[in-house]
Every structure is written in C-alpha cells, then in structure tokens.
A = this chain, B = another copy of it.
Amino acid sequence: MGMDFTFTEDQLSFVDAVRGMLSQEVTPERIRARWDTDTGVDTEFMTQVAELGVMGMLIPETLGGLGLGATDFVMLAQACGEMAVPEPIVEQVLVVAPLLTDILERGLGGDSLQAMVDDLISGQMTVAVSHPINPFINFGDRSNWVLAGQGEEVCLVARDAVALASKKSVDPSRRLFEAELDNANATPLASGDVGADLWRRTLNRGALATAAQLVGLAEAMVAQSVRYTSDRAQFGRAIGTNQAVKHLLADVAVQIEYAKPVVYRAAYTVEVSPSRADFAVSHAKVAASRAALLAARHCIQVHGAMGYTWECDLQIWVKRAWALAREWGDEGFHKNRIHEWLLQSNALLGPEFTFGRRTLTDTVAA
C-alpha cells in the first residue's frame, strides 16, 4: 500500500456520530453548570460516551476494548477540544488506557489493573496518571488509583495513600490537585529502562492528547468569532467587514490549517512507531499550541470588550487553550526536544525524511 494521508470512511463517520452527540450534550450552558458543582463532572454524560464505545477504543480486544489506534481517535480528541468537553475523556482514552495496556502487556500488573481497564471502558475514571512532567492531576479526586512516580519509577498507589491538595485553575472546568505520595504504600510496577520507556510513551500520548484538543479549541474560537463579528455592528456595519478583523482571523485559520496534518502525523507515529514519536509529537504540540494561543488572543480582540467578560462563552475555550498549552510539556519542553534532535550531527534532515525518517539505505550521507 502506498502513501495515503487520508482518514477512512469508517473513521470519518464514527467521528461525525460522536461529534453530533457531543454538540448536543456539551453546550456552554451545561459546561457552566458543571462549574457550580463540587465534582465538575457529569457522570451521566460519561456513561453516554462510554456507551458509544469511545472509552475503550484504544484498548486491545484481548483486554476488552476495540483494539483501535491513535489515528482512529485523533479527530475525536479534536472534537472534544472543539466542544470544550470538561471531562478528561481524551486523557482517559489516549493516556490512561494505553498506559494500563502497556503495563498489562509487559506482565507488570495483575487482576487489579484489568479491573481498572473494565472501569475505564464503562466510563468511570478509576485511575489517574500523575506523570512527572505535570505538577497537577486534573480530576485527581475522581480516581481510586494513581499511576505515579519520579524519574524512571512507575508505581501504583491507592488514593488513600495520596495526599491531594486542591488547586484552582484559571479554567473553571478543570479540577486540579497536587499529589503528595506516601511512598511506603506505593506498589512499584516498573523502573530503569522499562519505567523510563513507559513514562516516555505516556508523555508522548499526553502531549498528543493536548495537541489534538488545542486544534479543536482553536477551530471553535474562530467559528465563534466569525459569528460574532458577522452580527455585531459598529460605525453602521458588521465589524467583520473590516479588513483588520478579517486578517486577524485569517492568520489564525492559516495556523490551524497547518497544525492539523502535523497532529495527524503525530497520531500516526504514536500508533505505528511509538518509540520514534518524540519529534512528531513535540512538533504537533508546538504547532497546535501556537495556533490555539494565537486564536485565544485574536478572538478576544475581535470580540472587543465582550471578549473580556465572564459572560461571553469564548472564555471557556480561551482558558482551556491557555491550560492545555502548558500541560504534558510546555512550549519550552517541546521546542527543546526538537532542538536537541536537530542539532545531532547525524539527524536525518531534508525532504526525503518527512515520513519514517529511514526510507533509503544511503540516507545518512545526504
């Protein structure tokens, strides 16, 4: 089979179906309603999502899932960003489930982990991941178990053995907790190279999860801004007729358009060769963050004073973008990974290495 950078009909129609459901169920009003609840989570909604088969998409069939890959899920992650879904669906599917799978497939965990997989598939957020790169766990209070650790250490810890301190995010949809582990009660699962590899794959999946959502967030912000500036009149005509307003949004559109294939390539790489995904993932995170942060700024700007209010729904997307751009590695972390790679004297640079990076026998010469 030759090069084919398109999604299948099946992939497209599944996304359409879930996207339709999300746009019905996750409205700005309902997102705001969650802000006033203790948990910030709509468990019925989570069950609905689970019933569509979303949660276990990336879990192998042998473990009870659908056995699909990151390319099957990436547009759904994007849609979750577009709808600003507060629940950590993307993280559960793309980060927690694959980490559990990695552990089980390496024979590092037992029945209790399989039970967690089952819970996850049913829409319960029983497990949280506390990766060393993230200072906080979003919705950490929902889980019974935390996969955590420092350096190359990966442990399983019961919630009771973790001191969770609640922290307030700029995004009211997020419920952050700082975790302090009681090491005595942690069950070590992996260390050394194995642990390092688990954390590295997890980081790449986490960064991909945020990148895909950031693209969706950016698209939604632009769409809202197009609507607002087409309706809102000033000096006797819609403000969207002003070239300056048009160009602010066109600039964002360009960034989004060129972030999308980068994110899809990252999903493909995470799925097909996770051990060589660092560059593709960091590129995706940087490109998606750039698009989303530019969207936040320009879309606030074209909304005028309205864009600066609590009342305007735009804030839901803007603040999520600000938060996700920093989670799972900020721009500094990811740019530094790329820099390190580009500076290697044997890095395979040039147009013939866009894909796969090792396509010909004489590549190193170049």
Contact = CB atoms under 8 A, between A and B. Distances in A.
A242 interface: yes
A45 B12 CA distance: 73
Contacts of A243: 242-244
A349 to B, nearest CB: 23
Nearest to A244: B243
A247 interface: yes
Interface residues of A, number: 4
What is the total number of copies of this protein in its complex? 2
Contacts of A244: 243-244, 247
Nearest to A247: B244
Interface of A is mostly: helix
A243 B242 CA distance: 8
A126 to B, nearest CB: 48
Interface in A102-120: none
Interface in A240-254: 242-244, 247
A22 to B, nearest CB: 37
Interface string A211-245: 00000000000000000000000000000001110
Nearest to A245: B243
A343 to B, nearest CB: 18
A247 B242 CA distance: 12
A172 B113 CA distance: 74
A242 B243 CA distance: 8
Nearest to A243: B243
Interface string A237-273: 0000011100100000000000000000000000000
Interface string A147-187: 00000000000000000000000000000000000000000
A243 B244 CA distance: 6
Contacts of A247: 244
A278 to B, nearest CB: 29
A93 to B, nearest CB: 43
A350 B243 CA distance: 39
A245 to B, nearest CB: 9
Interface of A: 242-244, 247
5 contacts: A242-B243, A243-B243, A243-B244, A244-B244, A244-B247
